[in-house]
Amino acid sequence: MMMRSQVTCHTSQVKVKGLVLFLTCVLCLATGDLFAQSISSLELINNAKLYEGKVVTFEGEAIGDVMARGEYAWLNVNDGQNAIGIWMGKELAGEVSFTGSYKSRGDWLEITGIFNRACLEHGGDLDIHAQAIRKVRPGRDVVEKLNTGKRNMVFILLGVLCAVWILKRLKLK
């Protein structure tokens, strides 16, 4: 009887341990997912104090210039709402091939790094110090298509302008 109850107790202990292990795994996975999920610029800026000093993941398009500063570089990344400055090592910056401008779509990057509401190293800027960068989508050059409607409008208005100019000259003479 005693033996039986000990066996039952041992089985239930194993079950509890298994449950604890399972829950821990679920929690770890859930937490892992939470960190991997990218946070929008709006969320970061509006709740800057909440994320201060934490590792965050931010996604967006590289825009403007990659500004090399010694062994590091600044890159501004825009997620469609705001652009945030990313401070990164030169080797990470080297992975960026396209930056957004009128003539190009920048690389779409996923940045994981430490978020600073008022960075001590960079004069109080709100920035992210990148630890890892992943290129989600490569950028590309944008080929500008000729807008024929605008071109035609230019010629029509040019005609009108010439006509008005001639009329004005005639009147003056």
Contact 60, 100 (CB under 8 A): no
Tell me: does residue 123 bind other proteins (CB under 8 A).
Answer: yes
Tell me: does residue 35 bind other proteins (CB under 8 A).
Answer: no
Spatial CA neighbour of 106 closest among 71, 76, 74, 68: 76
Considering beta carbons, is residue 20 or 136 the nearer one to other proteins? 136
* CB neighbour list of residue 71: distance below 8 Å, 6 or more residues apart: 89, 90
Which residue shows structure tokens 């690389």?
Answer: 107
Which of the ranges 3-11, 23-31, 107-115, 141-149 carries the binding residues for other proteins, by CB under 8 A? Answer: 141-149
Tell me: does residue 143 bind other proteins (CB under 8 A).
Answer: no
Residues that bind other proteins in the complex, under the rule CB under 8 A: 45-46, 48-49, 63-69, 73-74, 76, 78, 82-83, 85, 87, 100-103, 117-118, 120, 122-127, 144, 146-147, 150-151, 153-154, 157-158, 160-161, 164-165, 167-168, 171
